[in-house]
Structure 1
Amino acid sequence: MASHRRPKQPSRTRVTVLTATAAAAVALTAQTAQADPKPSKSEVKAKVDKLYEEAEHATEQYNGAKEKQDKLDDQIDALQDKVARGQEELNTLRDSLGSVASAQYRSGGIDPSVQLFLSGDPDTYLEKASALDQLGAKQTEAIQEIQAKQRTLAQQRQEAQGKLKDLAETREELGAKKKEVQSKLAAAQKLLNTLTAAERAALAADESRANRASARADLGNAVPASQRAAAAFSAAQSKIGSPYVYGASGPSSFDCSGLTSWAYAQAGVSIPRTSQAQASAGTRISSQSQLQQGDLVFFYGDLHHVGFYAGNGQVLHAPKPGASVRYESINNMPYMFGVRV
């Protein structure tokens, strides 16, 4: 017979425990919300500046990979031209060898002793024999030249294959660094989007003030390090107000090393594209007191930022996104050393 017992009701004690647990969960959630407040404008700016710094580091690596790619492209083109010319020369040598072999066949198709026996003019025979010997020497020489050309072509083809492999790896690295830069910039923009319109306007106003202050920078009685340093610094000065753009090297926008390499190019001096490579482009200067106008100055432990020393404790550089080429205090960043090109 089926049982018709009534369902057991939860005890008063159990209800009390469940209610207390739910209340604790609500309280914990509230505490968590209170412990993670919306970051302030200054906190957001600090995080954004850090992301920009990381993006600049990745950009210098991107610039290095791009420079390597361009060099490899040129080297591969030159090697492929050499291979094409070498193949044409090899074909010409083979045709020449074929002509020598045909002449040798026509002159030496009969045994020399029989030729001498049949010859009515021994002097004519000896002349022909001498010509035959010369043809044989030419044939040997041609074969040796062909073999040497084949070895050279094989080496050049192998070198070209190696360069093509390097190029493929460099292009892969280039793509990865580009994605890293874009990721850092996107994260920075996401942070900026958490600010109110008024807070974003305040940050923009700060940058505008910094740009205006640059126009009033006091460079003191700075003396250029050299004539070429003076020319490079003057070229960089002509770009004050140009926007910072990652990977740009002029003439209308720049990143940090793009500005310095472009400016020195205007002075007729070729220096490497990246800040790390530019650090070895001249004589190192450790003390700030020894810096002269036009010297390159490097910042951060990994040397991912570079600018020009302008004089009186000021640097001229392309700072970061949202900023333009301008003067700033050398103490705004961790100074490492200078380089006189």
Structure 2
Amino acid sequence: MAAHRKPRHLSAGGGRARKAATLALAGVATATVFDGSGHAAPDPTPAQVKAEVDTLYREAEAATEQYNGAKEKADQARKRLGLLQDEAARKEERLNSEREALGASAAAQYRSGGLDPAVQLALSDDPDAFLDGAAFAERAGDRHSAAVTRVRGRLREIERLRGSARVELAALSSRRAELERHKATIDGKLTSARRLLARLTAEDRARLSGPATGNPAPMTVAAAPNARAAAAVSYARQKLGSPYVWGATGPDAFDCSGLMQAAYRAAGVALPRTTYAQIDTGRRISRDALRPGDLVFFYSGISHVGLYIGDGRMIHAPNPSAPVRVAPIDQMPFAGATRVV
């Protein structure tokens, strides 16, 4: 038989030891809230919040440019898919018409093909008319053969178009998934930034966003080198004070590259959608050669862009906490510039 053990009774000293251990564990857990001196960790200073929020905004903007690039490619894939589907539909219409004509021709040949041509000639009331008809039938046979060839060609074309459409549809699905990933990243970064800013007073938040430089009437802008550059600068001036919205290209809200695209669209120039594509438009120029209308880019990942207006300043869409405004170009790490026109 198995041996039975009696319950083990803890001594009063053992109970005290267990209680002390529990209190020690509670102290360890509490240490995550209080610092070593027993006081709650201090709230970050406005400067620390600004530094962290700026980092989050830069990361969100980089994700925004990736989103913009993926959206541009998704739009292109959607357009190509639509064109392929339209072309396939047109070819299917022609195919159906040719199939009907081919079927009617085959039925007619079947109905009239029971007698030997010599017998048909002998029985004909009008041999001359029959001979003319025989020649027409021979030509019709040639047309019948050509029709079959055309139908086969149409089938091959339609299958090719359907294959291309399947490729575009797969690309579109992939781009949509990529868009969702970038959107989730952007939303996460902006949510974190909003939570940090919510911990500040209204006065501190106002100081962090900086003064809204942006009344277009009194603002002086250096003369642009040509009419198109002048038109782009003029458009950007009219949009001072417009809100920053990621993915927006106007007319009432913008992200940084969306503002550049809209400004040059107003000047009759088509720019690509993203900062890293815009920097390769036109020709690169040095910082000391800048003129109004040039695009100026910032950060090593080319994640931000502004429109130079002269005197070391630009118009840009900064981030969700600040509207379209004028700012010095030396407030961010300069990465390069390009002259579009």
**Shorter-chain TM band:** 0.7 to 0.9
* CA distance in structure 1 between the partners assigned to 2:233 and 2:284 by the alignment: 18
Residue 292 (structure 1) shift: 1.1
Match of 1:10 among 13, 19, 27: 13
Provide the residue aligned with 1:252 in structure 2. Answer: 252
User: Offset of 1:105 from its aligned partner?
Assistant: 2.9
CA distance in 2, matches of 1:112, 1:164: 55
Higher mean alpha-carbon deviation, 59-68 vs 226-235, is at 59-68
Q: Could you tell me how far apart the structure 1 residues matched to 2:290 and 2:273 are? A: 22
Give the alignment's TM-score, normalised by structure 1: 0.85
Correspondence list, 1:294-309, <5 A: 294-309=293-308
Aligned partners of 1:297 and 1:339 also within 8 Å: yes
Structure 2 counterpart of 1:207, from 194, 206, 209: 209
What is the CA deviation profile of residues 3-47 of structure 1, one whole-angstrom value per residue up to 9, with x for unaligned ones?
9xx975539xx89x9799789969976518669532211101100
**Which structure is higher in helix share?**
1
Secondary structure of 1:126's counterpart equals helix
Tell me the equivalent position of 1:275: 275
Q: Structure 2 length as normaliser, TM-score?
A: 0.85
Letter in 1 for 2:69: G
Question: C-alpha separation between the residues in 1 aligned to 2:75 and 2:38?
Answer: 52
Report deviation, 1:183.
0.6
Q: 2-side partners of 1:23 and 1:121: how far apart?
A: 118
| Equivalent position to 2:80, from 59, 70, 75 | 75
Selected match of 1:45 from 50, 74, 83: 50
1:138 aligns with 2:137: no
SS in 2 for 1:52: helix
Q: Distance in 2 between matches of 1:27 and 1:224?
A: 63
Structure 2's unaligned 5+ residue stretches are: 1-5
State which drifts further: 71-80 or 145-154: 71-80
1:65 has 2:70 as partner: yes
Deviations 1:277-333 (A, max 9, x none): 212221111x11111110111111111111111111111111111211111111111
CA distance in 2, matches of 1:276, 1:179: 21
Identify if the C-alpha distance between structure 1 residues 33 and 215 changes in structure 2 by more than 3 Å, giving closer, same or farther: farther
Residue in 1 that maps onto 2:3: none
- Give the drift of 1:50: 0.5
Instruction: Give the length in aligned residue pairs.
Output: 329
Q: C-alpha distance in 2, partners of 1:26/1:133?
A: 99
Q: Is 1:156 matched up with 2:161? A: yes
Task: Give me the whole-angstrom Cα distance separating, in 1, the residues matched to 2:174 and 2:23.
Answer: 61
Residue in 2 that maps onto 1:319: 318
Q: In the TM superposition, what whole-angstrom CA distance separates every residue of 1:239-297 from its partner, at most 9, and x where no partner exists? A: 11112122221111111011111111111111112111212221111x11111110111
The answer (yes or no) to whether the contact 2:212–2:323 under 8 Å persists in 1 is: no
Superposition CA RMSD, Å: 3.2
Structure 1 contact 299–333 (Cα < 8 Å) conserved: yes
Aligned position for 1:55: 60
- Counterpart AA for 1:85: R
Give, in angstroms, the shift of residue 132 of structure 1.
Answer: 1.6
Q: CA deviation at 1:120?
A: 6.3
CA 1:175/1:33 → structure 2, altered by over 3 Å: closer, same or farther? farther
How far apart, in 1, do the equivalents of 2:25 and 2:46 lie? 36
Equivalent position of 1:110 in the other structure: 115
CA distance in 1, matches of 2:103, 2:10: 109
Other-structure match for 1:331: 330
2:203 corresponds to which letter in structure 1? Answer: A
The residue identity in structure 1 corresponding to 2:295 is L
**CA distance change for structure 1 residues 122 and 43 in 2, over 3 Å: closer, same or farther?**
same
* Shift in alpha-carbon separation, 1:181–1:26, aligned structure 2, 3 A: closer
Q: Which runs of 5+ in 1 are unaligned?
A: none
- 1:8 to 1:55, Cα distance in 2 relative to 1, 3 A: closer
Q: Distance in 1 between matches of 2:37 and 2:148?
A: 86
AA aligned opposite 2:205: L
Deviation track 1:69-105 (CA, whole Å, cap 9, x = no partner) reads 3223322222222122111111110111122223323
The answer to whether residue 263 in structure 2 is matched with residue 263 in structure 1 is yes
Distance 2:209 2:218 in 1: 15
User: Are the aligned partners of 2:50 and 2:208 in contact in 1 as well (CA < 8 Å)?
Assistant: no
Higher mean Cα deviation, 125-134 or 298-307?
A: 125-134
Q: Distance in 2 between matches of 1:59 and 1:174?
A: 10
